[in-house]
C-alpha cells in the first residue's frame, strides 16, 4: 500500500475513495459500519475523499473490510490519486463530460505503482470549480476537446501547472494521460513529483507523448520541439587548474555557437507570437484630441517655479497664510499657468493663499483651482505629458498634476483629486 502517513498522536491517516467521488448508499453504510466497529474518526477531505485516523494495528483489517465494500484504500498522500472532478455533463456550463472522464482515467491508471504522489484534477469548463491548476496533471474541458497542463503543486506559494496540449478528443484522453504518466514514471526519481521531473528534464518528453495536440495544438511537433527549452547537462569535473582557458572547460553543448543558435530560435518563436492590440490607444487619442494646442517646447525640468501676474492683499491675521513679495509685471507663459488675485496699484504687494476651495474647467479646457482669500490658479493640461506629471510651485504651494488614460490626478495640500477625461 505504500508509505504510511503517521500522525502526531501515533495513528495513521488512511484514505478511502471511489471513482469520481460518487459515493452510493452501500459505500456510506460500509464507512459507517467501520467507524462504529473500530471507533474510527473520519473526515471528508478537500479532494472528495474520506480520511480515517486508525491505529497502525488496524490498517490491514480496515483496508480489507472497505475494499470488500467497493472502496479503494491507500495511505494519505501516497501513490496515484484517483482524479477529482466537477459534476461534468450535468452542469449547464460544461463543455466536456469531466465526470465520465475521471471514471475512465481511474480505470486506465489502475494498478500503476507510482514513484511519488500523483494528483489529477478534471474540469468540464474553464470555470475550474475543481482547483486543478496546482495539481500534477490539470485537465480542462473546452469546445474542441481537453486541455492538459503539467507540473502544478500546492505550496505556500503555489506553483501553477504549465500548458502542454489542447484539443485532445475525449476518446483519446485516457491514452494521452497514461502516456504522460509513463514518461513521469520512466524519468522520475523516488519521491519526485511531476513538477520536479519537468524542471529536471524539460517538457520535450511530455510534448512528444501528447503529440499531435502538443504546444500550440498545430500538430507541427518538429517546430514545437525546435523552440522547446532543452535542460542543460551538468558540467563534468575537468580537473583543470583555474588557469585553464574557458574554451577548455565549457562543454560542447553550451558553446558560443550553440547559445547563439538557441537565442536566435527563441527570438524567432517570440516574433511569431501575435502582438495584442493596444487597448489604450483610443483612450490616449481621445485625451490628445480633447486638449488645447500644446506649447512648442516644454522645459525638461520636473519642477517649475511660476511667476505671478498680479498681486493680492488679503487680511493678515490668519496663521495658515504664507506672505511673500512679487513683482506684478513679470511675464508668464499664457498657456502654462496663471495666478489671479485682487489687483493692487502698489508695485510690490504681499500675496497669500489659503486652503483649496474648489476646482473647475473653464471653456478653453484649462483647470481652475480656487483658494480661500479670492485667489485662483489656472493650469493648462497641455503641459502635462501623457503618463507623466508636472510639479508646479506658487505662493508657497506645491501642486502636482499627473495624466493617465482615465484623466488627470491632482495632489495639493495633502489631498488628491481626480478629473476624468470626459470632464476636460
The per-residue pLDDT for range 277-294, each reduced to its tens digit, is 555 666 666 666 665 554
More confident residue, 13 or 3: 13
Co-location of 33 and 147 in the same domain? no
pTM: 0.50
Sign (positive/negative) of CA torsion 216, 193, 55, 58?
A: positive
Sign (positive/negative) of CA torsion 322, 370, 310, 300?
A: positive
Q: What is the pLDDT of residue 242?
A: 41
* pLDDT at 182 > cutoff 60: yes
Co-location of 201 and 184 in the same domain? yes
The per-residue pLDDT for range 31-51, each reduced to its tens digit, is 999 988 888 889 888 888 899
Q: Which three cell numbers stand for residue 78?
A: 501516497
Task: Provide mean pLDDT across the span 118-124.
Answer: 94
* pLDDT at 258 > cutoff 50: yes
Q: Which residue, of 183, 209, 227, is where some domain finishes?
A: 227
Co-location of 48 and 158 in the same domain? no
Co-location of 52 and 185 in the same domain? no
Across the chain, what does the average pLDDT equal? 74
* pLDDT at 371 > cutoff 60: yes
Residue 49 near residue 90, CB atoms below 8 Å: no
Residue 165 near residue 147, CB atoms below 8 Å: yes
* pLDDT at 155 > cutoff 60: yes
Q: Which residue, of 209, 227, 245, is where some domain finishes?
A: 227
Task: Provide mean pLDDT across the span 256-269.
Answer: 65
> What is the share, in percent, of the chain residues with pLDDT greater than 70?
63
Residue 335 near residue 379, CB atoms below 8 Å: no
Residue 243 within a domain? no
Residue 64 within a domain? yes
* pLDDT at 200 > cutoff 90: yes
Domain count of the fold of the chain: 3
Alpha-carbon distance of 10 to 33, in angstroms, equals 23
The residue whose grid cell reads 479503494 is 72
More confident residue, 10 or 241: 10
Q: What is the pLDDT of residue 100?
A: 94
Task: Provide mean pLDDT across the span 324-353.
Answer: 39
More confident residue, 249 or 168: 168
Co-location of 142 and 217 in the same domain? yes
Amino acid at each position: 500500500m505504500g508509505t504510511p502517513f503517521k500522525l502526531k498522536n501515533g495513528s495513521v491517516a488512511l484514505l478511502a475513495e471511489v471513482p469520481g467521488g460518487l459515493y452510493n448508499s452501500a459505500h456510506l453504510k460500509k464507512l459507517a459500519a467501520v467507524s462504529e466497529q473500530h471507533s474510527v474518526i473520519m473526515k471528508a477531505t478537500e479532494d472528495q475523499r474520506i480520511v480515517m485516523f486508525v491505529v497502525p494495528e488496524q490498517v490491514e483489517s480496515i483496508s480489507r473490510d472497505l475494499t470488500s465494500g467497493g472502496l479503494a484504500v491507500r495511505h494519505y498522500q501516497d501513490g496515484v490519486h484517483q482524479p477529482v472532478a466537477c459534476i461534468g455533463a450535468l452542469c449547464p456550463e460544461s463543455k466536456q463530460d469531466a465526470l465520465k472522464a475521471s471514471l475512465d482515467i481511474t480505470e486506465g491508471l489502475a494498478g500503476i505503482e507510482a514513484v511519488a504522489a500523483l494528483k489529477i484534477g478534471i474540469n468540464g469548463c474553464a470555470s475550474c470549480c475543481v482547483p486543478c491548476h496546482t495539481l500534477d496533471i490539470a485537465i480542462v474541458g473546452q469546445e474542441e476537446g481537453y486541455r492538459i497542463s503539467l507540473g502544478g503543486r500546492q505550496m505556500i506559494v503555489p506553483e501553477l501547472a504549465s500548458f502542454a496540449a489542447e484539443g485532445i478528443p475525449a476518446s483519446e484522453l485516457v491514452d494521452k494521460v497514461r502516456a504522460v504518466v509513463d514518461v513521469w514514471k520512466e524519468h522520475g526519481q523516488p519521491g519526485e513529483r511531476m513538477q520536479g521531473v519537468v524542471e529536471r528534464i524539460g517538457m520535450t518528453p511530455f510534448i512528444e507523448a501528447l503529440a499531435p495536440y502538443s504546444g500550440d495544438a498545430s500538430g507541427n511537433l518538429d517546430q514545437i520541439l525546435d523552440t522547446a527549452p532543452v535542460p542543460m547537462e551538468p558540467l563534468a569535473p575537468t580537473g583543470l587548474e583555474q588557469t585553464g582557458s574557458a574554451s577548455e572547460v565549457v562543454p560542447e553543448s553550451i558553446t558560443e555557437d550553440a547559445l547563439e543558435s538557441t537565442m536566435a530560435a527563441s527570438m524567432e518563436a517570440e516574433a511569431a507570437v501575435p502582438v495584442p492590440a493596444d487597448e489604450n490607444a483610443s483612450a490616449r487619442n481621445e485625451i490628445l484630441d480633447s486638449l488645447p494646442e500644446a506649447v512648442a517646447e516644454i522645459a525638461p525640468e520636473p519642477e517649475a517655479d511660476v511667476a505671478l501676474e498680479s498681486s493680492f492683499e488679503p487680511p493678515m491675521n490668519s496663521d495658515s497664510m504664507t506672505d511673500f513679495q512679487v513683482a506684478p509685471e513679470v511675464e508668464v507663459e499664457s498657456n502654462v499657468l496663471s495666478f489671479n488675485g485682487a489687483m493692487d496699484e502698489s508695485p510690490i504687494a504681499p500675496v497669500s493663499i489659503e486652503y483649496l476651495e474648489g476646482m473647475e474647467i473653464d471653456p478653453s479646457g484649462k483647470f481652475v483651482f480656487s483658494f480661500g482669500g479670492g485667489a485662483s490658479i489656472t493650469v493648462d493640461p497641455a503641459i502635462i505629458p501623457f503618463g507623466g506629471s508636472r510639479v508646479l510651485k506658487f505662493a508657497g504651494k506645491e501642486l502636482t498634476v499627473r495624466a493617465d488614460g482615465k484623466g488627470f490626478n491632482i495632489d495639493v495640500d495633502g489631498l488628491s483629486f481626480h478629473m476624468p477625461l470626459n470632464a476636460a
